[in-house]
Every structure is written in structure tokens, then in C-alpha cells.
Structure 1
Amino acid sequence: MKITNAETLKQALASMRLEGLSLSPEVNTLMLNALVDPNIDTEDIKRLLVKPYRNAKEKRDGH
């Protein structure tokens, strides 16, 4: 899904900072880029968020 409201994304990032939460550097960079790049969508962010879990599962399963 395309990110059509950069203000909502800015608000989410600001709320996370206020709560003392952080993203991995890669996810944070992608989120910041999404503020100005209309080609980044929620699937790109989701893929990056689940990547470590997918890699761990593949290692466990021997793939």
C-alpha cells in the first residue's frame, strides 16, 4: 500500500521517539526515506521488518 500521508508517518516516528522506542538503523532509514520517496510503500517496510525473522527461520529449518 502506498504511503499517502507523510504527516501520519511523521507523527508515528515522533511518538516512537517520545516513548523511547527505536527501530533498527535500516528500518529507520527506510521510514525516513518514505517521507520523501513516493515509491516506498508499506510492503517495503514490512519486508524489512520481517527479514531477520525469516532468516532465523531458514537457518533453523536448514534452508
Structure 2
Amino acid sequence: MESPCNKVCTVDRASNLCLGCGRTLAEIAEWADLSGEERARIMAELPARLAHLPAVATPRPLIVA
């Protein structure tokens, strides 16, 4: 199954969209249950969504001391 996930997984609070893939949390959670047509529709919307989001800085690894 195709997925736009690129393992960035950081949500923009203002838009509620993932800064990595452009999906909402609901879309991410439901992805496996969506029909192919629904996934294709969302995938088609992602470039426009991402164009309006802030650029993502390279995530830093979490260091636990």
C-alpha cells in the first residue's frame, strides 16, 4: 500500500497537518482502512497542503541523559 509517510511525523499546531507528509492525524490513523480512491484523492491534495506549511528543520535525535 502506497503511503506518503517520510518518517518526519511532526504536526503543525496551526493547521493540524503533519509537516512531513501533509496529512491530518485522522488521515494518518485511518490510512490503512481508506479505499484506494480515498487514498489517491488525499495523495493528490498533499503537494498543495505542503506548499502552505512551514519548512521542516532536520529533526534532531532525542538524547536522554
Q: TM-score, normalised by structure 2?
A: 0.33
Which structure's residues are more often helix, by fraction? 1
Find the structure with the greater CA-based Rg: 1
Q: TM-score, normalised by structure 1?
A: 0.34
